[in-house]
Amino acid sequence: MAHFHRKKPWDLGDEATPEAVYWNRREILREFGLGAIAVASLGALASCFGDSTGPDPLSEGAFNRPAIGAAFGDRYGVSRNPKYTLGEDRELTPETVGSKYNNYYEFTTAKNRVWRLAQQYPTIDEWRLEITGAVEKPLELGLDDLHGFEMEERLYRFRCVERWAMQVPWTGFPLSTLLDRAKPLSKAKYVRFTSVADRDHMPGMKQPGFTWPYFESLRMDEARDELTFVALGIYGHAMPMQHGAPLRIVTPWKYGYKSPKSLVKIELLEEEPSSFWYDAQPSEYGLYSNVRPKIPHPRWSQRKERDIGTGEERDTLLYNGYGEMVAGMYTGNEDLSAGSGWSS
Ligand SMILES: Nc1nc2c(c(=O)[nH]1)N[C@H]1C(S)=C(S)[C@@H](COP(=O)(O)O)O[C@H]1N2
Ligand SMILES: [Mo]
């Protein structure tokens, strides 16, 4: 009898099971009227969705081109804030690894191919970020305005719900600085973030089963927490598209999907908003989605994680190691996991 390579339970959460694959498969099958027997040929089917090959327009090594025009390129030589360290046993993930392994479903669900499609995104010369809703001063900011904020570099741990992890240097400023500009009203209790939806340049948006644009939300105190960062750069230069140029949120104590990319809108709200992932799969992706090793995702354990740089398997840390800074925000009203329903 043949021996099958038995995957460690570990492997499941990674390449084999991106966030929505299970669900997405069923959607795809329904959409195309295919039976279960067609599952095996999904790989072939996936190549119809725009993330297929063809001649490679990228020259060797061109994987991290900043998405914004050169005019802003010199603003990223900022100093590192020493307060944010990775911890003894962790090292920075090499850029060649971190920037070639991404989740950005608007491009493709294939993590190792996002960067190729993203590098073909046209150079961004103009961008508008709207800050609106329950604010005294609604704002619309362009790239110039955004580069007017004082930036710093922070080393953060980053943990995807699929169980891969990395450590990267982000350049940017705390979200609270940005929110202050718009003067949130006291009735504002939540912040909702909307990503760009650029169908002409994001081939993954043709996939069936998702409702775009991508959006996420935070409770007001989480949004104002010092850790919640607006990142315009990574590895000391302006953001390449695959990481969410020209700016994205980073919430390092939460699973990665709570860090939306390529923001075009920030809304301050009185009512609790939904999220892209909650709408897609409510049983699996809740409002809080804090990294909590003892609370399994419905389809896999969260006790371990894999470092994409070193390949090391290690224990997942509560709140991804940021408990001292954030645990105080959660005193019984946090839903237990990504998968335990929406919120209390
Ligand atoms: N707009 C948008 N933002 C997104 C996603 C996405 O698909 N679209 N994926 C999320 C997920 S699941 C993760 S793990 C992180 C990955 O960030 P990185 O590719 O910069 O490492 O981005 C998050 N933000
Ligand atoms: Mo993720």
Select from 184, 178, 192 the least CA-distant residue to 267: 192
Residue 313 has pLDDT above 50, yes or no: yes
**Whose alpha carbon is nearest atom 10 of ligand 1?**
257
More confident residue, 279 or 224: 224
**Average pLDDT estimate for 136-164:** 97
Ligand 1 pocket mutation, candidates 21, 103, 230, criterion most atoms within 8 A of CB: 103
The Cα 133–Cα 119 span in angstroms is 33
**Average pLDDT estimate for 199-204:** 98
pLDDT in tens, 230-278: 999 999 999 999 999 999 999 999 999 999 999 999 999 999 999 999 9
Residue 285 has pLDDT above 50, yes or no: yes
The token duo for 319 is 């709140």
**Whose alpha carbon is nearest atom 19 of ligand 1?**
102
**Average pLDDT estimate for 284-307:** 94
Select from 216, 342, 343, 338 the least CA-distant residue to 284: 338
Ligand 1 pocket mutation, candidates 261, 291, 297, criterion most atoms within 8 A of CB: 261
Instruction: Identify the band that residue 62 occupies on the pLDDT scale cut at 50, 70 and 90.
Output: confident
Residue 285 CA to ligand 2 center (angstroms) comes to 11
More confident residue, 279 or 180: 180
Residue 272 CA to ligand 1 center (angstroms) comes to 21
Residues with CB under 6 A from ligand 1: 19, 102-106, 160, 195, 214, 243-244, 256-257, 259-262
285: amino acid identity, one letter: Y
239: amino acid identity, one letter: M
Strands 190-195 and 215-219: antiparallel
Backbone angles phi, psi at 174, to 5 degrees: -65, 145
Q: Which atom of ligand 1 is nearest to the CA of 164?
A: 14
Select from 4, 19, 110, 24 the least CA-distant residue to 300: 19
**Whose alpha carbon is nearest atom 24 of ligand 1?**
260
Q: Which atom of ligand 1 is nearest to the CA of 243?
A: 20
The Cα 294–Cα 220 span in angstroms is 26
pLDDT in tens, 21-45: 434 444 443 333 333 334 434 433 4
Residue 256 CA to ligand 1 center (angstroms) comes to 6
The Cα 77–Cα 67 span in angstroms is 17
Q: Which atom of ligand 1 is nearest to the CA of 262?
A: 1
Ligand 1 pocket mutation, candidates 205, 215, 257, 297, criterion most atoms within 8 A of CB: 257
Instruction: Identify the band that residue 209 occupies on the pLDDT scale cut at 50, 70 and 90.
Output: confident
How much is the pLDDT for 73? 76
- What pTM did the predictor assign? 0.84
Residue 5 CA to ligand 1 center (angstroms) comes to 30
